[in-house]
């Protein structure tokens, strides 16, 4: 089966949800999925849920906080490790789907470069589905993708003071 490059971006809710839905569908079809989450660290509900599936692996490469301005040495080190993991995954070609969760944000924050994200697309084996999420996808990334979906916020209860809820947003 031919694999494509999918990008989920925009300011609206649903980018991670879309990628996790793809992962669930892939596992249901007997495919192997690897998810690398940039910037995240912690016990998110998706980690618990996905750990029940033997064909999904998820790893976090972040410090668990927002990166504003210049990233710290620790933030950059975590980003570098995540990038190296992705390179190894694509070179080893042992997974049918590789998800780069918050990959666009990792570029925006300076954890990895635009060229590095583009290099992941270049090194993708023909059979691997590569999914990149995160707001702020660069035009160069969107141009190279086969599918781009922009999540547009119309209305969000966050603006009414509703914080992220376990099982829904985290």
What phi, psi does 41 have (nearest 5°)?
A: -155, 125
Q: What is the mean pLDDT of each run of 10 residues along the chain (170 residues)?
A: 97 94 96 93 79 92 71 88 97 98 94 97 98 98 98 83 77
Express each pLDDT in 6-24 by its tens digit: 999 999 999 999 999 999 9
pLDDT in tens, 104-118: 999 998 999 999 999
Helix (H), strand (E) at residue 49: helix 45-50
Structural domains in the chain, CATH included, are 9-160 (3.40.50.300)
pTM: 0.92
pLDDT (tens digit per residue) in 47-58 = 888 888 999 999
Integer angstrom CA distances of residue 157 from 1, 149, 161: 40, 22, 7
Distance of CA 74 to the CA centre of its chain: 19
Three-class DSSP category at 3: coil
Count other Cβ atoms within 10 Å, centred on residue 110. Answer: 14
């Amino acid at each position: 089966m031919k694999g494509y490059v999918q990008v989920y971006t925009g300011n609206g809710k649903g980018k991670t949800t879309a990628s996790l839905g793809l992962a669930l569908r892939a596992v249901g079809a007997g495919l192997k999925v690897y998810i690398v989450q940039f910037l995240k660290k912690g016990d998110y509900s998706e980690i618990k849920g996905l750990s029940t599936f033997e064909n999904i692996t998820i790893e976090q490469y972040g410090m668990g906080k927002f990166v504003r301005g210049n990233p710290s040495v620790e933030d950059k080190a975590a980003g570098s490790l995540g990038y190296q993991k992705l390179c190894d995954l694509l070179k080893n070609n042992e997974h049918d789907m590789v998800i780069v969760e918050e990959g666009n944000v990792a570029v925006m924050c300076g954890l990895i470069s635009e060229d590095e994200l583009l290099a992941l697309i270049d090194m993708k084996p023909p059979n691997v589905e590569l999914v990149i999420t995160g707001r702020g996808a660069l035009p160069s990334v969107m141009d190279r993708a086969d599918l781009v979906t922009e999540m547009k916020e119309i209305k969000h209860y966050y603006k009414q003071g509703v914080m992220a809820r376990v099982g829904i947003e985290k």
